Homo-oligomer: A and B are copies of this chain.
Amino acid sequence: MGDLQEGLDMISIASDRPTVRIAAPGADRTDRADRAGHAAAAGPAGSADGPGAPPAVVELAGVSVFYSGYEAVRETSMPIRQHRVTALIGPSGCGKSTILRTMNRMNDLIPGARVTGRVSYRGQDLYAPEVDPIEVRRRIGMVFQKPNPFPKSIYDNVAYGPRVTGMKVGSMDDHVEQALRGAALWDEVKGKLRSNGLALSGGQQQRLCIARTIAVRPEVILMDEPCSALDPIATGRIEELMHELAQHYTIVIVTHNMQQAARVSHYTAFFTAEVDADGVRHGKLVELNDTGKLFTDPDDKRTEDYITGRFG
């Protein structure tokens, strides 16, 4: 894991940063294909592991998720690559959030939820009995759809994670500052660290939540539609931030917005919900691919249908 302090202070933009611009996929085709060029095309089972691809930090293998017996997501396998942004897209109810939650055991909190298959983090089975979900979440953080700062001061929001995990930090003040800088929020709040986090605007709140998450120095950050409650300007800021974070963190983002997936991610996984023989809907991974390829030349017909259905 990269040195946090270094990363947080870094402002210059790394060379593989995707361009932050909205564009019809067609127009962007070459740019994108070039950017994530070393990642090989993924088959429907989503094993995008060609030579040269960064190592997988999290790896799903044959993962199914059940809600009190209902199989919401079926047999999903996919790698999450280090220091890359992986986007999960697909229609509502196809299990994007469900899959995201398996990656840091947040579904432990849902009564009746059960995971089968193997989810591993750096080779360790996340669901092995001796694994402590709290340790898992310390390393794999999460940002939610609706900004959810604690009704505490901005400072306490950020300091909460280090405090509860008993993290050794030299000076908490410095640590909070670094985290807020890392979330590109420092300049806006430095004068009012003691004021309530809820008094910030929606976009600022969401960045506060990101700051709070990186304050515990996770390796992976999961984001579930982090911008859907925000206006375009705030969204733009968060997207930009994601690129910066991707230099030091591995990011998985669920989004409804295909443009957003196209803008921010290196890889995109397309999920859909399919009705099986018994008439029950199950979520399924259709295709995991390099983002540029998935949006311009998807391997799967269903991906194409979904994308063109929206793109005209």
In the complex, A309 Cα to B21 Cα: how many Å? 9
In the complex, A258 Cα to B310 Cα: how many Å? 15
Q: Decide: A22 and B231 in contact? CB cutoff 8 A.
A: no
Q: Decide: B310 and A22 in contact? CB cutoff 8 A.
A: yes
In the complex, A256 Cα to B203 Cα: how many Å? 14
Query: A24-B24, A24-B27 in contact; A201/B232 too (CB < 8 A)?
Result: no
Interface size (A, Cβ < 8 Å)?
26
**A236 contact from B23, B201, B259, B310, Cβ within 8 A:** B310
- A91 / chain B contacts, CB cutoff of 8 Å: 231-233
Minimum C-beta distance from A209 to chain B (A): 17
- Judge if A133 is at the interface, Cβ distance under 8 Å: no
Q: Decide: A92 and B201 in contact? CB cutoff 8 A.
A: yes
Minimum C-beta distance from A23 to chain B (A): 6
Q: Decide: A23 and B92 in contact? CB cutoff 8 A.
A: no
| CB contact list, A213-231 vs B, under 8 A | 228, 230-231
Minimum C-beta distance from A54 to chain B (A): 28
- A228 / chain B contacts, CB cutoff of 8 Å: 228
Residue interface mask A93-131, B partner, CB < 8 A = 1: 100000000000000000000000000000000000000
- A311 / chain B contacts, CB cutoff of 8 Å: 21-22
| CB contact list, A75-96 vs B, under 8 A | 91-93
- A21 / chain B contacts, CB cutoff of 8 Å: 311-312
- A231 / chain B contacts, CB cutoff of 8 Å: 91-93, 256
Query: A24-B24, A228-B228 in contact; A202/B233 too (CB < 8 A)?
Result: no
Q: Decide: B258 and A309 in contact? CB cutoff 8 A.
A: no
Minimum C-beta distance from A129 to chain B (A): 37
In the complex, A17 Cα to B179 Cα: how many Å? 50
Minimum C-beta distance from A27 to chain B (A): 7
A256 nearest CB neighbor, chain B only: B231
In the complex, A310 Cα to B227 Cα: how many Å? 14
